[in-house]
Amino acid sequence: MFVRAELERLTLGIRIENTATGAGPVIICDYCGERITDARDGNYEWADVTGAPGQRMAVYFLHKRCSAAHEAARGIVLDSMELTVLLPYLAHNLDLDWDEASRHAETLSAL
């Protein structure tokens, strides 16, 4: 439980945000606390200490403009990828049929 509590305290990441018509997932910058509204303006970042296969690392979500300040504040250097590629990689790693999932999401949104 310590690890989960510590990660919750340290990262904001993916949250559910209520709207006037429901609720939906959003990504919050772990440095400034603002919502990342354009995937091209954000990164997901991690500290790959060993490079060992199977190693699992916490992930940070950051505006690109906040990345350097986040690293300096924490005294860490992170690897990064733009948010534009996060969903395709997750879809692959979850064996997700993108078209089927999109149709399912549209159905749920219509409810």
For binding to Zn ion (CB under 5 A), which residues are involved? 29, 31-32, 63, 66
Other CB atoms within a 10 A radius of the CB of residue 38 amount to 9
Task: Please state the closest distance from residue 9 (CB atom) to Zn ion, in A.
Answer: 18
Task: Please state the closest distance from residue 49 (CB atom) to Zn ion, in A.
Answer: 24
Q: Calculate the dihedral angle through the C-alpha atoms of 68, 73, 78, 81, rounding to the nearest 10 degrees.
A: -50
63 vs 71 by CB, closer to Zn ion: 63
Task: Please state the closest distance from residue 46 (CB atom) to Zn ion, in A.
Answer: 17
32 vs 47 by CB, closer to Zn ion: 32
66 vs 78 by CB, closer to Zn ion: 66
Token pair for residue 102? 């999109």
Helix (H, G, I), strand (E, B) or coil at 47: coil
Task: Please state the closest distance from residue 2 (CB atom) to Zn ion, in A.
Answer: 27
- Measure Cα distances from 5 to 12, 28, 46, 62, 75 in Å: 12, 18, 18, 20, 21
1 vs 33 by CB, closer to Zn ion: 33
